[in-house]
Amino acid sequence: MSTIKERQTVDHKIVVQNLYKIFGNHPRKGVKLLKQGYTKDHILEKTGLGVGIADVSFHVDEGEILVIMGLSGSGKSTLVRCLNRLIEPTGGKILLEGTDVTLLSREELRQLRQKRFGMVFQHFALFPRRSVIRNVEYGLEVQKVPPKERRERAMKALEQVGLKGWEDSYPDQLSGGMQQRVGLARALALDPDIMLMDEAFSALDPLIRRDMQDELLKLQEKMHKTIVFISHDLGEALKLGDRIILMKDGRIVQEGTAESILSNPADEYVAKFVEDVDISKVVTAETIMKNPGEVASYAHDGPRAALWKMRQAGLSSVYVQHKGRLMGIVRAEDASSALKAGEKDLKNIIVTDIQKVSPETPAYELFPLLVESSPLAVVDSEEHLMGVIIKGTLLAALAEGVQTNGNGLDAGDTDRQSN
């Protein structure tokens, strides 16, 4: 058991173990009370100590985006600041590739911050009296990188975020989105392997925010940084997060992929959070469904035709209709074994026990259904197949704020294959 745990510790990029942060005098007392089972409010009332984080353990893998989500006051910003010790944790361990960050000396910590961590702030935190390029250079200046190399690396970072040509402007001359690009470039210029992003896009208006999210994903495709992203916005978390951690009152209430959190809320708090995804109420099956593409005919098609239609659509299953009514679904593996067995029709391989929903079904009712079976068939009152919904489609639609028009099932393909 212990060896497995140790191996995991080494494999993960960052491992946080039993982290506590208590604000106030004699914070250790707060840790003791928490261990005795007192609540955050109780401790505040009794001792005046503020509980920032309580017994938090999680890990971050190399190259993933981990979103830490929670409402304000949930401790998420405190948590990210503990990782590079802008806030000194009260107890617990933070292992960065096996090294305990909490034990580092002041000087070692500075080295670590200079080389390993790039941080992006909610309100940009640009230095107002420095030009854009000198903002981006700041971290390199601190490292005493020679001016020429400094300028080159800073220019490269500015180009990465698409701000070439703005280097001599001052922060107050830029829009919010551009300012945060500078913030991003300032962190990227250090070429850190870990990015800490504290509500980095929350202060931007929605359209710009979406652009920045896309930009970040695009950059991440090339950079493969390990990113810890703080957010209070579920849509953002769904879109960016490889995994999501949900926090409340300084504790982790749920951890997992977007799907698992949406479909299996760990408790009422999470359920409420998920329910509060406002668009999930507005969005219905009809608005997010995709064109089903090729449909097999029960009357004419055999396994070979079904497989051909799947290949045409690039999917691993195909719906089967009979006289305009949806009958069931045929999966690729069944079709190919039927083909080998020399069967000529779909009678033996059709799965008729499939999930069907009406076009009016609201999105939040779709989550639990999608976990049980994916894809979902959307049928009208005549049982005619109108469209399909795949997990990826739904998530993408929610994250995008419903911008689903046609083009392909790219997000869902892998999903469908695995089902």
Closest CA to 261 of 285, 283, 245: 245
Exposure b/e, 382-397, CB count within 10 A at least 16 = b: eeebbbbbbbbbbbbb
191 is a site residue for other proteins (CB under 8 A)? no
Single-letter residue type at 355: Q
DSSP state of 328: E
Residue 411: Cβ-neighbour burial (10 angstroms; 0-12, 13-18, 19+):
middle
**Closest distance between other proteins and the C-beta of residue 125, in Å?**
4
The span from the CA of 214 to the CA of 199, in Å, is 15
Give the phi and the psi of residue 228 in degrees, each rounded to 5.
-105, 115
Single-letter residue type at 175: S
Segment lying near other proteins (by CB under 8 A), choices 134-142, 246-254, 266-274, 342-350: 134-142
**Closest distance between other proteins and the C-beta of residue 113, in Å?**
4
Segment lying near other proteins (by CB under 8 A), choices 50-58, 103-111, 286-294, 321-329: 103-111
Closest CA to 417 of 303, 289, 315: 315
113 is a site residue for other proteins (CB under 8 A)? yes
119 is a site residue for other proteins (CB under 8 A)? yes
* Among the listed residues 8, 57, 111, 417, the single contact to other proteins using CB under 8 A: 111
**Closest distance between other proteins and the C-beta of residue 177, in Å?**
18
Q: Could you tell me where the DSSP H helices lie in 204-344?
A: 206-223, 234-240, 258-263, 268-275, 278-282, 285-288, 303-313, 332-340
* Cα angle 6-9-15, degrees, rounded to a multiple of 5: 145
Segment lying near other proteins (by CB under 8 A), choices 27-35, 130-138, 312-320, 406-414: 130-138
Single-letter residue type at 244: I
71 is a site residue for other proteins (CB under 8 A)? no
* Beta carbons of 338 and 305 less than 8 angstroms apart: no
110 is a site residue for other proteins (CB under 8 A)? yes
Give the phi and the psi of residue 354 in degrees, each rounded to 5.
-120, 155
Q: Total number of residues binding other proteins (CB under 8 A)?
A: 31
Q: Which is nearer to other proteins, 131 or 419 (CB)?
A: 131
* Among the listed residues 5, 7, 26, 123, the single contact to other proteins using CB under 8 A: 123
Segment lying near other proteins (by CB under 8 A), choices 129-137, 223-231, 246-254, 301-309: 129-137
**Closest distance between other proteins and the C-beta of residue 232, in Å?**
17
Segment lying near other proteins (by CB under 8 A), choices 14-22, 119-127, 307-315, 377-385: 119-127
Token readout for 123 is 């309100």
* Among the listed residues 10, 103, 142, 299, the single contact to other proteins using CB under 8 A: 142
Q: Which is nearer to other proteins, 31 or 158 (CB)?
A: 158
Residues that bind other proteins (CB under 8 A): 81, 84, 86, 109-115, 117, 119, 121-123, 125-131, 138-139, 141-143, 170, 186, 190, 196
